[in-house]
Chains A and B, each alone.
Chain A
């Protein structure tokens, strides 16, 4: 029995597919933005440890994105490190929300890596190390579907892969995705639909 609520947004949220940029943030998001702004101010005043607060706060979500985009823990760590160093060096240029800004740095790093991998004469499969989960039990319990899904994700374009990962793996709403990627709900919905259809075409012969 599928658990629809575990990864699909609420119907009300999903139906709001009219492209529009939110003018106000939900109170909890605004509060987090304020906290981030204070941390940034402390870093700008020379308190390096305040940056550790931001690293700790956002590293899990960013690591998940990088790992699912690249399929490689080592590459994901490298992208994370390079992204946070870049963010630290350009902290004075933050406009708007820090979380969306750092996410876009990481997302661009992932897409650059995927692009460079394609340009080199090393195939994704040859270069990539198998992705792994954090606990040994999960590692041992790795299913055939997991391997096949990794392979199928590797067949998608970076933009389709990004849309699928954000929607299904990270569990974001279309509105949140649009906010993070500075795009529209309609465009992202289309990308997610295309990603699903591509994945289904790749996997259905074996599984459906």
Chain B
């Protein structure tokens, strides 16, 4: 599976490829195929669902049929909010991890962080900008540099 980790991607506004093999009626609706209705009923519904207005009701104070539908959808949505990850998934992920993570390149404080957060981050190990190397690697590098130095000294 292709995974994209680019956070600045703007694919939200992509449209469905025109090469879609299915008849138009069977293709998923794209953003532009759903024009916003200008009638007051839909606006009232959206205002209610956005928490900006009371629920639209008919003269007899019953919910409109559309509001009734959305109240049912709300119950279904609330039930989906209780979903939990299957218990085996976390272990599965940890077992599938590669041996080591990539070396830290640049550490930057949180973009939207408060001054306090930034100050903490700057003193935290995660944000020092250092490259961590195990002692064995440092020892090997030292030996290599000493050997190179000796070679150059002989050449001179």
Q: Spell out A's residues near B (CB within 8 Å).
A: 1-4, 6-11, 13-15, 21-25, 30, 33-34, 37-38, 40-41, 43-46, 48, 51-52, 55-56, 59-60, 62-64, 67-68, 73, 77-93, 95-97, 100-101, 104-105, 108-109, 111-113, 116, 118-119, 121, 123, 133-134, 138, 143, 145-146, 149, 154-160, 162, 168-171, 174, 179, 181-183, 189-201, 203-204, 207-208
Contact call B114/A25, Cβ cutoff below 8 A:
yes
Residue of B nearest to A93 (CB): B105
Chain B positions within 8 Å of A182 at CB level? 7-8
Contact of B74 among A6, A85, A192 (CB under 8 A): A6
Q: State the CA gap A90–B21 with chains docked (Å).
A: 36
Q: Given contacts A25-B114, A96-B110, A121-B21, are A14 and B120 in contact (CB under 8 A)?
A: no
Q: State the CA gap A8–B70 with chains docked (Å).
A: 12
Please classify the interface of chain A as helix (H, G, I), strand (E, B), loop, or mixed, using the class held by over half of its residues: helix
A52–chain B nearest beta-carbon distance, Å: 6
Interface size range of chain B in the complex: 35 or more
Contact call B105/A92, Cβ cutoff below 8 A:
yes
Contact call B69/A95, Cβ cutoff below 8 A:
no
Chain A positions within 8 Å of B30 at CB level? 157
Chain A positions within 8 Å of B52 at CB level? 11, 14-15
Contact call A170/B81, Cβ cutoff below 8 A:
yes
Contact call B31/A133, Cβ cutoff below 8 A:
no
Contact call B7/A200, Cβ cutoff below 8 A:
no
User: In B65-116, which residues have CB < 8 Å from any A CB?
Assistant: 65-86, 89-90, 92-94, 96-98, 100-106, 108, 110-114, 116
Q: State the CA gap A80–B21 with chains docked (Å).
A: 29
Q: Does B125 contact A (CB under 8 A)?
A: yes
Contact call A109/B1, Cβ cutoff below 8 A:
yes
A49–chain B nearest beta-carbon distance, Å: 8
Please classify the interface of chain B as helix (H, G, I), strand (E, B), loop, or mixed, using the class held by over half of its residues: loop
**Besides the known contacts A24-B113, A25-B113, 15 further A-B residue pairs in the complex with CB atoms under 8 A apart:** A8-B50, A56-B90, A59-B90, A90-B5, A92-B101, A93-B5, A95-B108, A104-B9, A108-B6, A113-B1, A121-B21, A134-B82, A171-B81, A182-B8, A196-B49
Contact call A194/B3, Cβ cutoff below 8 A:
no
Q: Chain B, 6-17, contact with A by CB distance < 8 Å: what is the 0/1 string?
A: 111101111111
Contact call A88/B101, Cβ cutoff below 8 A:
yes
Contact call A44/B81, Cβ cutoff below 8 A:
no
Q: Which candidate, B34-42, B139-147, B148-156, is the interface stretch facing chain A? A: B34-42
Residue of A nearest to B100 (CB): A46
Contact call A197/B2, Cβ cutoff below 8 A:
no
Pick from B30, B49, B121, B132 the residue with the most CB of A within 10 Å: B49
